[in-house]
Structure 1
Amino acid sequence: MSVENALKLLGVSEGASFDDILRAKKSIISSCKDDPDTIAQVEAAYDMLLMQSLSQRRSGKVVDSSVRFADVKASNASGMGSMPKWLQTTVKSSPVSVEAPAAKELGVQAGVYGALMVLTYVNGASTPLGVSYGADVPGLILATSFGATLYFMTKKNVKLGKAGVITIGGLVAGAVVGSAVENWLQVDIVPFLGIHTPATVVSEFILISQFLVSLYLI
């Protein structure tokens, strides 16, 4: 297999970082786990690009410093080394994997979801007591967060269908946790931090869940 074919098969450009190549490989394998021929081709393409980087390294050319070979100790960027063995096995065998975000991604996504959370709080706190929460406000905010999560996940080479399922899962998880917390707080009876609308509490937890999903899952 040529380098050009390997790049085309993995859907990455020449000069792509090790993390981009590895991410592309994982994404394709997770979506084609029932197709051994495709998986074998993807593994061969990955090995080809890895060997090319090794050859460049031995010849003294500058290559991605994140590429790891047998003589380089693997980094613990994703935090897997601190996990129990049973949890590492579960994460590795799952079609959804956990990956530590880059600092740049963290800043951008924290800004987006932070702004949505502030907007949700302001609208909830400013709604007069006894007045129902305007349905268009939380709906628009949650729709925006849903779209943002899909966008951030597809930027990590996650296929749209898989990204949609993960995003919906995050939304449901946030709604469940938010509802449980709201039932405990009962902000419609005893306001909390100026919030007296249950929808605000639930929406805040959904946004937190979407933020974490977009950062760590792939």
Structure 2
Amino acid sequence: MSEQTPYEKLGVNEAASFEEIQAAKNRLTQEYSNDVKTVEAIEAAYDSIIMERLKLRQEGRIKVPDRIRFAERQRETPPTPPPLSLDNSPSWLQQFIDTPSSRDLLWPTGIFLGLALLVNFSGTDSSSISVLLALGVFANIYFLNRKENKFGRALLITLAGLFLGVALGWGIGQLLQGANLPGDVSQSFIGMAIFFLFWLSSSFLR
């Protein structure tokens, strides 16, 4: 086949349409599928014809359909985006910060959002608020512990979030004290602050 022109290798004439060239190339590729060298020669002949016709297209002499592609381009796989990582961050920060997937964020978001809403609607019922806070503490410990299997670390982070949440919620209540807010609303600020910190810690801390 080396002495033949690209058209002769595919068994078509120079006036053949793109569909006829494509069909001939596919037919010969299937026929010689067990002969690697012959298949490569067929694809090279096809590419040579396409290159020639693309050149003619640039000169405005013919029109090449957009669906025509080279064999090499058909085998190319699309590049995959690099995964999100903390490789450029300090090593000490990598020990504490986690990069959760959307699935990992789903459960903590749903649970702590639900608990925050329940606290908001519980009113002045201190027993209900205490039960909801206890559920939040256990949930936060569970989500943190399942990442590294370090119960002590999960407990310390949860307690820190609890105390910081109380301080944050109380501080917000003090700032809004002039608005004459009832006591149940102040408790709601504290509860929502705690569950917000629980969500942050369970989602983005190891």
TM-score (norm 2): 0.54
CA–CA separation in structure 1 for the residues paired with 2:141 and 2:135: 10
The answer on 1:113 being equivalent to 2:112 is yes
Residues 76 and 139 (structure 1 numbering): CA distance in 2 closer, same or farther, change over 3 Å? same
Shift of 1:157: 2.2
- Which residue does 1:161 correspond to in 2? 152
CA–CA separation in structure 2 for the residues paired with 1:203 and 1:197: 10
CA–CA separation in structure 2 for the residues paired with 1:187 and 1:114: 28
Residues 170 and 158 (structure 1 numbering): CA distance in 2 closer, same or farther, change over 3 Å? farther
Asked if 2 retains the 8 angstrom alpha-carbon contact of 1:175 and 1:202, the reply is: yes
Which residue type is aligned with residue 210 of structure 1? F
Which residue type is aligned with residue 111 of structure 2? V
Residues 146 and 96 (structure 1 numbering): CA distance in 2 closer, same or farther, change over 3 Å? farther
Q: Which runs of 5+ in 2 are unaligned?
A: 1-80
Residues 187 and 196 (structure 1 numbering): CA distance in 2 closer, same or farther, change over 3 Å? farther
The answer on 1:216 being equivalent to 2:204 is yes
CA–CA separation in structure 2 for the residues paired with 1:100 and 1:172: 25
Asked if 1 retains the 8 angstrom alpha-carbon contact of 2:170 and 2:190, the reply is: yes
- Which residue does 1:174 correspond to in 2? 165
Asked if 1 retains the 8 angstrom alpha-carbon contact of 2:84 and 2:99, the reply is: no
CA–CA separation in structure 2 for the residues paired with 1:199 and 1:166: 22
Match for 1:199 among 187, 191, 195? Answer: 187
CA–CA separation in structure 1 for the residues paired with 2:100 and 2:170: 28
TM-score (norm 1): 0.52
Residues 198 and 188 (structure 1 numbering): CA distance in 2 closer, same or farther, change over 3 Å? farther
Which residue type is aligned with residue 205 of structure 1? A
Residues 169 and 212 (structure 1 numbering): CA distance in 2 closer, same or farther, change over 3 Å? same
Which residue type is aligned with residue 122 of structure 1? F
Residues 93-172 of structure 1 aligned to structure 2 (within 5 Å): 93=92, 97-124=96-123, 133-172=124-163
CA–CA separation in structure 2 for the residues paired with 1:95 and 1:164: 20
Which is higher, the Rg of structure 1 or of structure 2?
2
Q: Secondary structure at the match of 1:100?
A: coil
CA–CA separation in structure 1 for the residues paired with 2:200 and 2:173: 20
Deviations 1:123-171 (A, max 9, x none): 13xxxxxxxx222111111100000001111111231011100111111
Asked if 2 retains the 8 angstrom alpha-carbon contact of 1:120 and 1:141, the reply is: yes
